[in-house]
Structure 1
């Protein structure tokens, strides 16, 4: 289990040990991402050393020109002056070229790291089990792939540049000042003490504030995404005012967190500028008296004054690095938390193959609970022969959909085994299972693209003739042909160009084309009106022929085509027989059937 908790649940009340573990985990992930680029980074480090060294050399070369080259020129020797000028130009060119190469190199490495991380996060997230996605909100997933990755990008593209260049510049500048004039170097080092203390205060304070900023930002994004995703429910129940208040509170919390962050910048940046100004005044004043006393050359004074003026400038950049670092560190902790999650339904280490399934299903002593203490199926046994169509009926919560999810292996049983043709699903290769078992749910989701591409989702290599044959088989061909571009019509966002019933027909065509041995229809006709349902009944007969089928439906018109009906109650089968037998029996199914017939009158 990850530090964040079950299925990536994020908290704000971490203990010190948990916080350390979060940092270790995110640092481990960063090392994994950077390791393939270590030689490039070494070359980049060499470039920035050269570039910074050439930049820092400028004032020292000016000091040489004033203190040595000018007197030599007065004596008739122009060589030192020409040499100083040439060296200055070469240093400037080398500095510019090296900084260019450094900037391009770091950008390439950072983009390569981000590309790897984006792909890894996407691949890992879609491979996680259904349990994860049912508990981890879509808004948080979107935040991981967008704002969190953008924070890391900002750090890699800009923050690290500021840090590396700033630290090297200050180090080389201090060395140059001490070499030119040790006393001025001592003044700088003394002034560095309050600057370091102020920076340390800023770092510790910003750690707390930036974590708060990330948390409030994520809460704001989650609320926005959930509201827009569920906009139909919002409109239906007129919850706009409540949503506005809730979102307004989250926006204000985010604003307040940002304002507190700006406040510490308002103290830090002017504080560094004040320390830098006082340091320059001290260096120039002390240096001026020493020039008058003959202890310091004018050129050296000019050089140390230039060094003092620029010495503290990188500290502000380093402070900005902490800004980006805190944001990126919090983001990396969250991303690493998702990557640490393991599928609760893992693929077997040594899978058994099932190249041609027959479709026989067996539940052997199966018990299942979504959460501890909430058992849905207690010691469940069931055998479904290959090619049989069964219908599951019962009240909500009876365990019908749970049974379907176990057959699809969206979940594994807590105890016992679910077998397909005698093979435990936990031992079956994922590819064989997905080829053998297909579920059609009430939510007929259509992806961006054409109608034909959506039908071919389970068989991307299918020909146009095969796609059209599948649509004809389930009664979808006529309405598809009536669309503006037929099978090439773009379904638009989430299938907005077609009705709910038409989306369901397309999902049937998708299942027919995939040609599984086991087909599960989980309330798959719920979105169809009565005329559409009658239209699809013939298609269902074709769809279910020669395959094992499990139908979950409240509409008993769909149940009529089943060979066998199982009536479930509290995770147990209380009636088992053909529709006609159960109606004659006069039990629970007969009662449900009468209620359904009465509803049609």
Structure 2
């Protein structure tokens, strides 16, 4: 073997060991999640287990009663004594009725447990996703989150609803029937037990193969959902730029990968099921052959052989069920790995253990702040100091990508600085409770996102306890009352999905009213007037001068008409503040970026 081949062999072994270690870690994480879901319901689970044990005992009584009837009851009846046969028939009827009632009780309890586990999981996943920081949602697409909440949870649902009773019944049947087979006849039971040697080997192969295949299916279906959500949300751009064929090609590739992964899993199930049945049928043939030979020789009673074969059929039937359960478990295990991965994500902007209350006022202070979006990423904001006094309106001006929005995100604490601190009224934002901060700082962005529901509900989002009069006053303050009153149902008009019933400018005005009603100490406007037409912009500017009074405000805008209402302008370039002053002073200097922007704006008005 050459040196290169030797190194490749070592590398391959290291990769395999790493893959095994990662797989073990994922499985341990999944088991922890499953344990945390079941632990609060251990009492009901114990009751369910007790019921299923009684149900299995009632079910297994049948073949024993048949054996007694054949060997003792029928001969006694021929002699004129029907007592034993009557007892066997009565006991068989009672055990059958008990089996049915206990099965019904078990399935209802198991269903209640499984539905509550799924409810807990969905709520936990949704709650945790909302608490995760903006950085998570910017890297982990909404389609993946939807996949975790739908496809992956549904996979676990199939295991809990269809697999739980099959698994418990199968395991108990194997244990009870195995014991009964040994009691009935040890030599025949040993023949059956010998069949477990190949079954153990094929089961281990199946677990490894199906687990790998189902990990691929979970990843593939997540990509399909991501592509579908992205396509549907961007349908206007898809049709405008004729992207249908390209999207169809991408979806075809993703669907093909999903099909291939599922086919690998199905093929593994087919091999496993066929192997189990082959071993079962071979064992049954050997038992019948050897048992019949022993009956004819007088060393085994016919009733015992009859009961043994009846139990043997029941012994291998659960193995088929276990094959299906193993298949569902492999799929659910892969889904749990994905779900547990989201649940173990920690917010990059964490709540403090002992939060400090924010005092009145709105002074914003940046102390030696430096920021990068990841630990090994480039510096977006080099170290800088900045103080914005309470009540001052500051406009951030600069080219796209200069760092304006990043500064605004630090003020709203969507991110924490990589070093240094951002303070509000002297308190480090890292030390404030999130609810307290959201009461003091409100943000209006160019996305102007509205939720399905009435206009009034969307305005009251920042302060749900607001009265209708307060909602209407907020709308009037930003110039939105007139168009809202003209809607078919006024403030009760449903804005529909993402506010689709309103124009972009109207959605922006509603977003303004929402922020103003919240009455924050600090208001961040990130390109908030970008969707407004000229009349709408004038209406908002007129309202801004009143609403921003005695309030700290940070305005990011490319429109100079919006910037000019600010008390102070900061020109940002490459993450650095290169100009700082009032609009009038910067214009009066006649040089610099802001003066050039102002002159270009004046020229555009001519």
| Paired residue secondary structure (1:419) | strand
Answer yes or no: is the 8 Å Cα contact 1:287–1:296 preserved in 2.
yes
- Structure 2: how far apart are the matches of 1:137 and 1:292? 72
Match of 2:365 in 1: 362
Tell me the SS of whatever aligns to 1:381. Answer: strand
Structure 2 gap segments, 5+ residues each: 1-14
2:115 is equivalent to residue 111 of structure 1: yes
> Deviations along 1:576-598, whole A, 9 cap, x unmatched?
22212111112210111122233
Aligned match of 2:162: 158
2:4 match: none
Offset at residue 492 of structure 1 (A): 0.7
1:76-114 CA distance string (max 9 Å, x none): 222211211121122112222222222111111122222
Q: Measure, in 2, the Cα distance between the counterparts of 1:273 and 1:164.
A: 20
Moved more, 72-81 or 473-482: 72-81
Secondary structure of the residue aligned to 1:575 is strand
**Aligned equivalent of 1:124, options 128, 141, 145:** 128
What's the secondary structure of 2:157's corresponding residue? helix
What per-residue deviation string (whole Å, max 9, x for no partner) do you get for residues 330-381 of structure 1?
1111111111111111111111112x52111111111111133411221211
Contact 2:211 2:334 in 1 (8 A): no
Counterparts in 2 of 1:420 and 1:321: CA distance versus 1, 3 Å: same
Whether the 8 Å contact between 2:38 and 2:117 is mirrored in structure 1 is yes
Q: How much does 1:571 deviate?
A: 1.7
Match for residue 89 of structure 1?
93
Q: Tell me the distance in 1 between the aligned counterparts of 2:576 and 2:205.
A: 63
Count of paired positions: 590
Q: Quick one: distance in 2 between partners of 1:197 and 1:402? A: 57
CA deviation after TM superposition for structure 1 residue 13, in Å: 11
Question: Tell me, what secondary structure is at the counterpart of 1:344?
Answer: coil
Return the match for 1:593 from 578, 595, 598. Answer: 598
Deviations 1:217-236 (CA, angstroms, capped at 9, x unpaired): 22222221222222233233
Q: Give matches, 1:202-213, under 5 Å.
A: 202-213=206-217
Going from structure 1 to structure 2, the CA distance change for 1:599 and 1:241 (only over 3 Å counts) comes to farther
Tell me how far apart the structure 2 counterparts of residues 302 and 597 of structure 1 sit (CA, whole Å): 102
The residue that corresponds to 2:10 in the other structure is: none
Partner of 2:494: 490
Q: CA deviation at 1:285?
A: 2.3
Shift of 1:68: 0.7
* SS of alignment partner, residue 350 of structure 1: coil
Query: Compared with structure 1, are the counterparts of its residues 555 and 591 closer, same or farther at alpha carbon in structure 2 (3 Å cutoff)?
Result: same
> Distance between the aligned counterparts of 2:304 and 2:589, measured in 1?
108
Q: In the alignment, what sits opposite 1:403?
A: 407
**1:374 alignment partner in structure 2:** 378
Tell me the residue number matched to 2:316.
312
How many Å separate the matches in 1 of 2:30 and 2:277? Answer: 34
- What is the Cα deviation at residue 548 of structure 1? 0.8
Does structure 1 residue 329 correspond to structure 2 residue 333? Answer: yes
* Contact 1:60–1:176, Cα closer than 8 Å, also in 2: no
CA distance in 1, matches of 2:571, 2:208: 62
1:170 aligns with 2:167: no
Within the candidate set 40, 43, 52, 1:39 is matched to: 43
Secondary structure at the residue paired with 2:204?
Answer: helix
Structure 1 match to 2:555? 551
Q: CA–CA distance in 2 between the matches of 1:142 and 1:35? A: 26
Please provide the CA RMSD for this pair: 1.8
**Which of 37, 49, 65 pairs up with 1:61?**
65
1:567–1:589 Cα contact (<8 Å) kept:
yes
> Cα offset for 1:319?
1.0
1:472-528 Cα shifts (integer Å, max 9, x gaps): 111111111111111111111111100110000000000111000110100000011
5+ residue gaps in structure 1? 1-10
Q: The residue matched to 2:372 in structure 1 has which SS?
A: strand
Distance 2:534 2:220 in 1: 47
Among 213, 220, 224, the alignment partner of 1:220 is 224
- The normalised TM-score by structure 2 is 0.94
Residue in 1 aligned with 2:417? 413
SS of residue in 1 equivalent to 2:491: helix
Distance 1:105 1:248, change over 3 A: same
2:30 alignment partner in structure 1 = 26
Q: 1:518-556 deviations in whole A, cap 9, x for unaligned?
A: 101000000111221122221222321221111100011
Query: Partner of 1:502 in structure 2?
Result: 506
Following TM superposition, where does structure 1 have runs of at least 4 consecutive aligned residues deviating by more than 4 angstroms? 11-14
After TM superposition, give the deviation of residue 442 of structure 1 in Å.
Answer: 0.3
Q: TM-score if structure 1 supplies the norm length?
A: 0.95
Pick from 476, 481, 486 the counterpart of residue 477 of structure 1. Answer: 481
Q: Indicate conservation of the 8 Å contact 2:143/2:227, yes or no.
A: yes
Give 1:12 shift. 12
Tell me if structure 2 keeps the 8 A contact 1:393–1:566.
yes
For 1:65 and 1:391, locate their aligned partners in 2 and report how far apart those are by CA, in whole Å: 95
Task: Tell me by how many angstroms 1:436 deviates.
Answer: 0.7
